[in-house]
């Protein structure tokens, strides 16, 4: 089969390797679509703690083509989306129910072979039936689950005014989720006018570039925002976002900042305004929730998927993402097969 391999930082190629065979508790999936994520970019650039060489890709869906002897819940021909995390289930964090915080966490496409390949073997417990969704939609189950994980952690109440900083694919999922959950309005901030226009199309009431926002937020929300979602991963955006949380409000750190970045904030303001700062990493058990939302059509992902390419498009995907010329890029490993 063909698969993308990252051999070392900044070096990748499409390689021909043996097809995977399933263990007793695994299924083999013919990957229909796999989203390219910022994490893939970080792995490619060597700024993520993944061991190379690696077959990347952790946002994928496809058809079951082979099942191991012990598999009971899915059969050949089923269309499934994949939860990429493979926790150890033995460490303190797993035993506390926080499998995504597992200290021995392995994830398909991050530590073990992933979805930018024609076939992948994954555990039966990692697949979720996704009949009724297109491959394009089903490959969104993982990133949408991550957003739901963040939203479930931070919470949003009906009638709250929210701010989303960063309108990449994740920020644009948050714009939609916050409105579905009853936010009275969502203000969206990004450098790109194209991304802001998509935010507007998806229901954001006000869309602004960061400098416009910095000079006008007091007119828009004189007391600040009940909920601020940081989805850019830029430390400057973190600082700006923390300054505009309303007294009693919450701040969600969702964007992935560089591992050594720091951001300044006023501990006095956090104390005096009783601000809650919440972090969110990966996903827990939100896949069924995400698949239901995708199935309902209430979360729009077609408009967020700007490119679908074959495996050899990985380099193009990296370039598009670096230049913020795309929203979600998906690779279709079996395109034309
Ligand atoms: Zn991801
Ligand atoms: Zn564990």
CATH number listed for the domain at residues 147-279: 3.40.50.720
Q: What are the pLDDT digits (tens) for 54-65?
A: 999 999 999 999
* Superfamily of the domain at 2-140+301-331: Medium-chain alcohol dehydrogenases, catalytic domain (3.90.180.10)
Q: Which two tokens stand for residue 134?
A: 């297109």
Percent of the chain with pLDDT strictly greater than 90 = 97
Which of the 8 DSSP states describes residue 124? Answer: G
pTM for the model stands at 0.97
Ligand 1 centroid, distance to 263 Cα (angstroms)? 23
Ligand 2 centroid, distance to 240 Cα (angstroms)? 35
Which pLDDT value is given to residue 336? Answer: 80
| DSSP SS3 for 315 | helix
Which pLDDT value is given to residue 192? Answer: 96
Contacts of 1 (CB under 8 A, 6+ apart): 16, 17, 18, 19, 20, 117, 118, 119
User: DSSP E strands: which ranges in 68-152?
Assistant: 79-82, 85-86, 106-107, 119-123, 127-129
* Residue 197, number of CB atoms within 10 A of its CB: 13
Answer yes or no: are the C-beta atoms of 166 and 231 closer than 8 Å. Answer: yes
Q: What are the pLDDT digits (tens) for 207-219?
A: 999 999 999 999 9
Give the chain's residues under pLDDT 70. Answer: none
Which part of the chain is CATH 3.90.180.10? 2-140+301-331
Ligand 1 centroid, distance to 241 Cα (angstroms)? 23
Ligand 2 centroid, distance to 209 Cα (angstroms)? 41
User: DSSP E strands: which ranges in 110-244?
Assistant: 119-123, 127-129, 161-165, 185-189, 206-208, 225-230
| DSSP SS3 for 82 | strand
The rounded mean pLDDT for the chain is 97
Answer yes or no: are the C-beta atoms of 301 and 138 closer than 8 Å. Answer: no
Ligand 2 centroid, distance to 96 Cα (angstroms)? 9
Q: Give, as residue ranges, everything with CB less than 5 Å from ion ligand 1.
A: 37, 39
| DSSP SS3 for 191 | coil
Which pLDDT value is given to residue 257? Answer: 93
Answer yes or no: are the C-beta atoms of 163 and 224 closer than 8 Å. Answer: no
- Residue 145: nearest ligand to its CA? 1
Which part of the chain is CATH 3.40.50.720? 147-279
Ligand 1 centroid, distance to 196 Cα (angstroms)? 22
Q: What are the pLDDT digits (tens) for 112-125?
A: 999 999 999 999 99
Q: What are the pLDDT digits (tens) for 179-194?
A: 999 999 999 999 999 9
Ligand 2 centroid, distance to 174 Cα (angstroms)? 28
């Amino acid at each position: 089969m063909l698969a993308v391999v990252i051999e070392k930082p900044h070096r990748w190629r499409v390689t021909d390797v043996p097809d995977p065979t399933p263990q007793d508790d695994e299924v083999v999936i013919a990957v229909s679509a796999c989203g390219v994520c910022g994490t893939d970019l970080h792995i490619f650039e060597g700024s993520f703690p993944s061991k190379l060489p690696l077959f990347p890709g952790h946002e994928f869906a496809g058809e079951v083509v082979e099942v191991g002897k012990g598999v009971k819940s899915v059969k050949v021909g089923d269309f499934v989306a994949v939860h990429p995390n493979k926790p150890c289930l033995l460490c303190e964090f797993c035993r506390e129910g926080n499998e995504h915080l597992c200290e021995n966490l392995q994830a398909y496409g991050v530590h073990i072979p992933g979805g930018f390949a024609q076939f992948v073997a994954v555990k039966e417990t990692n697949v979720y039936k996704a009949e009724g969704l297109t491959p394009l939609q089903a490959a969104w189950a993982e990133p949408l689950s991550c957003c739901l994980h963040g939203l479930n952690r931070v919470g949003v109440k009906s009638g709250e005014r929210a701010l989303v900083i960063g309108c990449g694919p994740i920020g644009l999922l948050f714009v939609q989720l916050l409105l579905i959950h009853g936010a009275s309005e969502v203000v969206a901030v990004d450098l790109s006018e194209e991304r802001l226009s998509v935010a507007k199309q998806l229901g954001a009431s006000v869309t602004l570039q960061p400098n416009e926002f910095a000079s006008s937020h007091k007119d828009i929300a004189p007391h600040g925002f009940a909920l601020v979602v940081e989805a850019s991963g830029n430390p400057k955006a973190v600082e700006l976002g923390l300054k505009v949380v309303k007294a009693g409000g919450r701040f969600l750190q969702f964007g992935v900042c560089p591992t050594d970045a720091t951001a300044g904030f006023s501990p006095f303001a956090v104390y005096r305004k009783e601000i809650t700062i919440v972090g969110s990493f990966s996903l827990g058990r939100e896949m069924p929730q995400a698949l239901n939302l995708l199935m309902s059509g209430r979360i729009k992902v077609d408009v967020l998927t700007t490119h679908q390419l074959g495996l050899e498009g990985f380099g193009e995907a990296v370039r598009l993402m670096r230049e913020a010329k795309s929203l979600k890029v998906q690779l279709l490993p079996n395109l034309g097969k």
